[in-house]
């Protein structure tokens, strides 16, 4: 997988994305929206196609073509969802950034029911 990602990253340039606005999945997850430029969508599509060649990789109903790019900011918040949602509404910020790397995360444990992750390896996009 690392060889595949390194090759892919070497063939794609960083691409613009816009971050901002809040959304939620039910009342369980609150997130910040990530809007991909057309170039970022093409890079993501190439990444998905490359990963699809790995027969051992599992896919869920929310992966690949059904992926909703976002940054999770609250999980398992259903009991306090109205408070969390109200809290974030006045704190909205928007900014432009780049889809400029592909990073492999490794789960290192769990704390209070939340998975803990660390960076295994990053691949900078560049052409």
Question: pLDDT, tens digit, for every residue of 31-49?
Answer: 999 999 999 999 999 999 9
- Nearest by Cα to 34 from 74, 69, 63: 69
Question: pLDDT, tens digit, for every residue of 51-69?
Answer: 999 999 999 998 998 899 9
Average pLDDT, the chain: 94
Domain count, the chain: 1
Q: The domain containing residue 7 runs over which residues? A: 2-124
Full-model pTM: 0.86
Between the CA of residue 55 and those of 50, 52, 107, 120, 127, what are the distances in Å? 11, 7, 21, 21, 28
CATH number of the domain where residue 18 is located: 3.90.1140.10
Gap between the Cα atoms of 64 and 75, Å rounded = 21
Supply the pLDDT for residue 48: 95
Question: pLDDT, tens digit, for every residue of 96-119?
Answer: 999 999 999 999 999 988 889 999
């Amino acid at each position: 997988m690392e060889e595949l990602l390194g090759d892919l990253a070497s063939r794609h340039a960083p691409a613009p994305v816009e971050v901002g606005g809040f959304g939620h999945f039910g009342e369980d997850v609150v997130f910040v929206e990530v809007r991909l430029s057309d170039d970022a969508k093409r890079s993501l599509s190439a990444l998905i196609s490359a990963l699809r060649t790995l027969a051992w990789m599992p896919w869920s109903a929310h992966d690949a073509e059904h992926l909703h790019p976002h940054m999770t900011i609250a999980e398992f918040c259903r009991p306090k969802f109205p408070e969390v949602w109200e809290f974030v509404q006045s704190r909205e910020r928007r900014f432009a950034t780049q889809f400029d790397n592909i990073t492999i995360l490794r789960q290192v444990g769990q704390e209070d029911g939340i998975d803990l992750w660390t960076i295994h390896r990053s691949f900078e996009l560049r052409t």
